Amino acid sequence: MTNPEGPYVKVHFRLEIEDAWPPASVESLWAVDQGDGTARLDNIPWFVRGIACGDVVATEPDEEGVRWAGEVVRRSENCTIRLIVLRDGGSEAARQSVINAFHELGVCGEGIERFRMVALDVPPTADLTKVQRLLKHGVAKEWWDMEEGCITTQWRAASAG
């Protein structure tokens, strides 16, 4: 798979498992090879903490050519928010309605059936106060549980306001 920005590669992240979560010890994300030993992430992480779509990470191939993520070289300023959808048992329709609601606020997302999850990619251009208001409303209504996978200074400032 290629695009004008460079070839797509898979970047692998080692995960720390606590209380049987996350359900895997490695997560791989699609990224665009930057040609200098780094890659720009082009996926919303399901489980990796402290990483967001658009971040540029250093990569180091192992002896089998698997690219492992190193330090973040440049932050995208996007936030990663993960939801476990509780409404309607986390059905496909419930997950899609969550994605649609956040899409109206300038937030991209995707769902995964296996864990009844929605992962949200919140760009710095989104109205962070409105996004947070909807997130808190959904938690209060028990529509979903929420985890802040990767947040920024802007996100913290919006939640303090």
For 81-116, write each residue's pLDDT tens digit: 999 999 999 999 999 999 999 999 999 999 999 899
If we measure between CA atoms, which residue out of 54, 49, 15 comes closest to residue 31? 54
How, if at all, do strands 67-74 and 6-14 pair?
A: parallel
59-80: b (≥16 Cβ within 10 Å) or e: beeeeeeebbbeebbeebbbbb
Q: Taking residues 123-137, report their average pLDDT.
A: 96
pTM of the model: 0.91
Quick one: average pLDDT of 117-137?
Answer: 96
